[in-house]
Amino acid sequence: MCGRFTQHLSWEELHRLADLIGQPRNLAPRYNIAPTTQIEVIRLDQSGKQLTPMRWGLVPLWWKKPLKELPATFNARAETVAEKPMFRSAFKSRRCVIPASGFYEWTGERGAKTPHYFSSPDGRPLAFAGLWESAPNPETKELMDSATIIVGPANDWMSRFHDRMPVILDWNDASAWMTGGDPAALLRPPPENALQEWIVSQRVNRSGVGDNDPALIEPERLGASESA
């Protein structure tokens, strides 16, 4: 799964990678993003690729109950995303890319878990495969955009830490993911050298803590492992 990630990105960098359109804007850095908060999402509309703020946790068009009763929809499983009622409509026609600077995962036993941070070895943003939806907020009736990150089986390198991971696209495949006729073909684990890793502070365990603190992603101790 992917339950916490980071976005410390620049509009200019995303423009180069994804050929964004629209007015450039300053993007506030986020270092401890938790579900139901707002994230930056790249989606395609009639004019091109737009960077749009959305709720992290997809709300399907047919959902009418209060949001607090919505099951966890911040992740969608790659194996079932085309069939699950929560996601199948968005999978057909509303695929997106969620840019990320990195993400967190935990190892160890309950009550003594160690947080790890994962990012691209070359420092470029990661491109998570995602889905988006636009639907009325059941409580306010205002139109609300929301999104989910697709997760799939871990590659061999990641399996040392967890058996699941976000589906990470090559940026060259971003357009095909959003517009192509066979999106399932892109729901595969990334190359073994796609990520690096190190241990970080347990402060990240508490959602909302350190969201604007870059120290949260710094290595916690000497000897933290990185990818070979």
Q: Which residues are catalytic?
A: 2, 105
User: Quick check: 150 and 75 in contact, CB under 8 A?
Assistant: yes
Rounded to whole angstroms, the Cα distance separating 35 from 86 reads 16
* Alpha carbon distance, N-terminus to C-terminus of the chain: 23
Of residues 173, 129, 131, the one with CA closest to residue 151: 129
**What is the Cα 61 distance to its own chain's centre?**
21
- Characterize the bridge pairing of strands 48-56 and 38-45: antiparallel
13 burial level (CB within 10 Å; 0-12, 13-18, 19+): middle
- 212: number of Cβ within 10 Å: 11
**Beta-strand pair 164-166/102-107:** unpaired
H-helix segments, the chain: 11-18, 88-93, 174-179
Quote the Cα angle for 197-200-201, to 5°. Answer: 170
Paired tokens of 69: 């009763």
Q: Where are the beta strands (DSSP E) in 46-142?
A: 48-56, 75-77, 95-100, 102-107, 114-119, 126-136
